[in-house]
Amino acid sequence: MNSLYKKKILICRPQDKGGEMVKALAERGAVPTIFATSTMEILPIDATIERHLRRLATTQWIIFSSTYGVEAFCQLAETHSITSEQLITHALGIVGTKSAQLLQQKFPQWQVTLTKTSLQELLDTIATYQMPSFPPEHKACVWHPTSRESLEKIAVTIPEKLELIRVPLYTGKPVPPKSQAELDAIRNAQYDAIILGSPSAYDCLVE
């Protein structure tokens, strides 16, 4: 029996990010609705980001846990003249295939070292991953572009063998509903499930 049949599901993601999910759910008999609650806004470069940038050259890993993180990093790379030749010296960790695909479009020479399904799984795997050029007792430094909301609200357990640098490059910006009628329809609908793409999506939905 298909447990998704006729289930009404609200997907709080922009259309360009949630299209494939809508298609997959509809193919399984669900009734998905896209409701974009937030979009990405690049944060200005402040003293904290500048300090983290100075550490970038000496880190062993750069990891990405969302397509927004990839997009924000690509903009940072462009404004600060960070080249593929510089990046390919770092091991690359990715959460999700979409992030990997987007990054390969931007930096085709940079080969993915690890792909996992969650940030915690990726960190745990990196902690046990033996880099050929470092001794087993070496503590790897990991540079992670993320959002301000994720930094505040998504807790991770940092393995002993890792130093994690979480760099807030972007924030979620609320997207107003297209019309009052759309907002009323969302409020009045009895959804069986709500899918949130990020902490900022939740904040903006509540707002």
Q: What are phi and psi of 99, to 5 degrees?
A: -60, -40
- The predicted pLDDT at position 156 comes to 93
Q: What does the DSSP assignment read for 114-152?
A: EEESSHHHHHHHHHH---TTS-TT--EEEEEEEEHHHHH
> What is the pTM (predicted TM-score) of this model?
0.83
- The predicted pLDDT at position 111 comes to 92
**Confidence tier at 133 by pLDDT (50, 70, 90):** low
DSSP 7: -
Residue with token string 């970038």 = 56
Q: Which two tokens stand for residue 14?
A: 């922009």
167 three-class SS: strand
List helix spans (H) across the chain: 15-27, 47-56, 67-79, 84-87, 97-106, 119-128, 148-153, 180-188, 199-206
List the strands of the sheet with 61-64, edge to edge. 38-42, 162-174, 140-147, 61-64, 91-95, 114-116
- The predicted pLDDT at position 18 comes to 76
Q: What does the pLDDT look like over 42-88, one tens digit per residue?
A: 999 999 999 999 999 889 999 999 999 999 999 999 999 999 999 99
DSSP 84: H
Range in 62-66, 122-126, 194-198 the model is least confident about: 194-198
Burial class (CB in 10 A: 0-12, 13-18, 19+), 146: buried
